[in-house]
Chain A
Amino acid sequence: MTQTTPPLGRFGAYGGRYVPEALVAALEELDEHRAKAMADPSFVGELTELQRSYTGRPSIITRVRRFGDEHCGGAQVVLKREDLNHTGSHKINNVLGQALLTKRMGKTRVIAETGAGQHGVATATAAALMGLDCTVYMGRVDTERQALNVARMRLLGAEVVPVDHGSRTLKDAVNEAFRDWVANVAHTHYVLGTVTGPYPFPEMVRDFHRVIGVEARAQMLDEYGRLPDAVLACVGGGSNAMGIFHRFIDDSGVRLIGLEGGGDGPDSGRHAARFTGQAIPGVLHGAYTYVLQDEEGQTIESHSVSAGLDYPSVGPEHAFLRDSGRAEYYPVTDTEAMTAFEALSRTEGILPAIESAHAAAGAMKIGRELGPDALLLVNLSGRGDKDVHTAAKWFGLLDEGEAQG
């Protein structure tokens, strides 16, 4: 299946540019600069060199034998190790690209929103590296469950602004970042952290993450002599998933499987399962896509144990892939994700981000269905250092005094 992107940035019916007029000129400027940059060997060369010498690309792939044998029905499970990138997640791929574009546009300040903190840390890192001022918006709830990343951002010189509106999570941080951008667009670039938002963000962010799938596909052919039966990734906004999926879209024999934050379960009303809950298409944060909303078009608050998946909307290209049947999306409950978190930690010595644990939980389900002949590629989008406190509480590993400390 070959996919084309029409001029207005639509993926089928999805995408578009639903923004205040004040931002349209900036979006057009961004689109023009990124098109020129992607065709400019000096830009591509600079980004590639940063990926090699700063991020640590290419990231390796790791066969996780015990995890596959003991928890995935004997399936061969291979992890794409985005957790080994500098700053600990895939987020750095996109941020380095956008920070370079910020400098090309002559802007001096970046802003970002963050849920789990990974995107905020990556943005603060790139800003420090390139001498840009940086402000990161983060829902108050998320600053509390991801306190370590708040400290990391501040150590890197960024201003972290807790957001007290609405559900005080990622959605509200995005609103606040848009408000800042409307007021300061002349000198500020909004480093949007995922594959949603107004055109050109969904396409641009995907293109900066596409390196994940390009590397992984070549590595699978090189090390296993064939393509995987399925590629699995967690989907909040969906940037790591689009990054690894995109190179496989034309490989019709490869199933693309996205795992959403199922929270307490899709029937519970407390979840972030946009495709499997009661979400329908609508407009949120600049794009027409699936949105958790009530019968009056008001956004419903999402829930996930993972701050990075706790978002009521999803990237428009995922909506297109879902409707066209090219990709499948399933919810993973908080309990299932934490079970996978523990399983991967105990069998392989790898602490995944709780986001990524959703993808590992998907491998446990699909592996059991497909059995030992299956070859599964799982995107381990981030590492779990930031989630140690949450996991320790979940499993009751610390006594009261230790937990408070």
Chain B
Amino acid sequence: MDVIQALEQALNKNCILSSEEACRPYECDGLSAYRQKPLAVALPENAEQVKQVLKICKAHNTPVITRGSGTGLAGGTLPLKNSVVLGLSKLNKILEIDPLQRTAIVQPGVRNIQVSDAAAKYGLYYAPDPSSQVACSIGGNVAENSGGVHCLKYGLTVHNVTSLTVLDMDGEIIRFDEKDDGLDLLALLNGSEGLLGVIIEIKLKLIPKPEAAQLVMAAFKSVKACADAVTSVLKQGIVPAGLEMMDKFSIQAAEDFAQVGYPLEAAALLLCEVDGSHDQVKVDAQRVADILTQNGAYEIRVSQNEKERNELWQGRKNAFPAVGRYSPDYYCMDGTIPRSKLAYVLEEIDKLSEKYGLKVANVFHAGDGNLHPLILYDANKPGELKLTEQFGQEILKLCVDVGGTITGEHGVGVEKLDSMCHQYPEAELEIFHGIKNVFDDSGLLNPGKAVPTLHRCAELGHMHVHNNQLPHPELERF
């Protein structure tokens, strides 16, 4: 009996997809440039069935690619030819909300926004809010340690998960809790990109909805002035709930798309939200406006009500699709840098944009130095995707060279394997492989993702790529 037959026998037949057509939606995640049809897709309906899938795959030595909603942007759920995709979308129940304790226990396939919606009647919400929150699953959020606009103040996923139930490749249940003693294994599972275990239950922290929020929009004549103004706000003791920056190109695209009244002639636009109690927000919004004015903002708008606040956000929230309208394809990068290097890094990205002849729009979480350069390209032009990827890698290298990192929130997946070689030397990578081996000695959980082999890095000469030519282009890059 082969693995597909075994799965069909163990689960309801309609839980197993294996035809070309049925598997097509599972060929890729949000990084659609890479596609691969898996052997089969298993869509279990409960934890017991997840366990069976794992046991069967283990017995057949078949790799398992766990998948939430497939919104990942780093190719973390890209199947292997001989793999089974384990889709958790049917495990989509909110099991419990305890308003007094302010916690929610959920299955992994629950979508991020559903938690906040369900908690709303108690005046509570779930803080991490990736822009994909209407679609992405909590399981995927944990596996990627996702962040969002609010994470400067309210943290990433890792800060808001208090306990996890995980199945290992043998189907054994392991619980990790914030109350555990000794090593913080709960933290280790966050951001583990589906390589250490299959998350089947999650306990989340809920927090009270802030009483009030106000958004300050400020326009600047130069990127540097804007970056410096951000610095001043943080230095003066205000931790905004959101602090987002857009460059000229993004402002124009967003305004063209959403017509919210962003100043078109600005070189950089800052959106700074403060939240908390009514009293605090009043004080903070005024202080932010003052600080930004003192730091060169030539136009300031402070939202006077919820309607205005939401409207002002619309441009930023639609910036990606807005920019997307200018080009058949775009490639969204994700690197983090020390904020003090912002102006320098943006200048360098400009130079690279000229070098590659590809336009870039910059939208980013300025509060935590997380950049999202959008590289515009046309996949139908031969070679342009390759060029775009090289451009992207150069941006990530730049991030590492100024003391930053190759990913702030999207994860490594297959996309940034080569860039990992640039960020981490051999000893660290060995430790990562060691950790993987402790959790999954068969190496069947999402193999080949997130941590490059030492062999691969050696081949790349630790990313010292000359003339933009990768050595051994004939070798499979994943």
A, B assembled together:
no
Point out residues on B near A: beta carbons under 8 Å. none
Q: Which residues of A contact B (CB under 8 A)?
A: none
